[in-house]
């Protein structure tokens, strides 16, 4: 083999290696994107569970604090309770969604045994791309529910705190007012008795 042919062969190998490196970069990068997407989705589930737990504990405390308070405040307390329940339902709906697709799973390995390394990389890139698009629909839907649930929880907490403050101020006892008792003495006008009238007549 001549020197020129050796150089051409090396250059072709370098081009192949460079080509594969670009595919390897895309495969690795797309895989990291999927992993971040799945981790963010799981973290959102954790936050949703925390909000559900807080709401379940706060509702009995709130109702117990308003026990025996003004009837109007007890009637208004229906609003934050309804908002809490709506928030819990939204958070629970997030858990009912299907788990995200993690692209190249073990079940897809069987069809890759007879493929070349470049074909495997191309298959992984395409699988990651389709998984990202598929997962994006689920994550957008879950994010919308999560934001709505957080908004309802925040509003209900603010209303609850306001009602508790009003109830506390209304339950503070006012200082006793001094009441001055004035005794009224009724003067009875004495009328002359019948005996005195008779004696006056006799004298006359």
- 114-123, 124-133, 165-174 — which one is most confidently predicted on average? 124-133
User: According to the model, what pLDDT value does residue 98 have?
Assistant: 81
- The residue among 90, 74, 42, 88 whose CA lies nearest residue 160 is 74
What is the per-residue pLDDT for 12?
47
Nearest-CA neighbor of 127 among 102, 151, 146, 147?
Answer: 102
**pLDDT attached to residue 147:** 95
pLDDT of residue 68: 77
Counted residue by residue, the chain has a size of 204
Q: Which residue range(s) make up the domain with 159?
A: 3-203
CA terminus-to-terminus distance, the chain: 179
Q: pLDDT at residue 201 above 80?
A: no
Domain count for the chain: 1
pTM for this structure? 0.68
Rounded Cα–Cα distance for residues 136 and 88 (Å)? 23
Are the C-beta atoms of 178 and 76 separated by less than 8 Å? no
Q: Is residue 64 scored above 60 in pLDDT?
A: yes
69: its two tokens: 């308070």
Is pLDDT above 50 for 155?
yes
Bigger pLDDT: 198 vs 168: 168
More confident: 158 or 99: 158
pLDDT tens for 85-116 read 999 999 999 988 788 887 666 666 666 677 78
What pLDDT was estimated at residue 107? 60
Query: Region 44-68: what's the mean pLDDT?
Result: 91
Q: Which residues contact 204 (CB under 8 A, 6 or more apart)?
A: none
């Amino acid at each position: 083999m001549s020197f020129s042919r050796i150089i051409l062969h090396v250059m072709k190998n370098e081009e192949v290696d460079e080509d594969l490196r670009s595919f390897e970069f895309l495969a690795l990068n797309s895989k990291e994107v999927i992993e971040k997407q799945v981790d963010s989705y799981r973290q959102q589930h954790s936050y949703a569970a925390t909000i559900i737990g807080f709401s379940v504990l706060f509702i009995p405390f709130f109702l117990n604090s308003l026990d025996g308070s003004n009837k109007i405040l007890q009637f208004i307390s229906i609003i934050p309770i309804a908002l809490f329940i709506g928030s819990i339902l939204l958070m629970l709906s997030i858990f009912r969604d299907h788990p995200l697709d993690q692209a190249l799973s073990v079940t897809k390995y069987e069809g890759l045994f007879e493929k070349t390394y470049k074909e495997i990389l191309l298959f992984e890139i395409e699988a990651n791309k389709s998984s990202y698009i598929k997962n994006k629909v689920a994550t957008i839907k879950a994010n919308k529910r999560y934001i709505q649930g957080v908004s309802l929880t925040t509003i209900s907490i603010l209303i609850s705190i306001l009602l508790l403050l009003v109830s506390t101020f209304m339950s503070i006892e006012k200082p006793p007012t001094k009441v001055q008792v004035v005794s009224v003495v009724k003067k009875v006008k004495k009328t002359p008795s019948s005996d005195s009238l008779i004696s006056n007549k006799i004298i006359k």
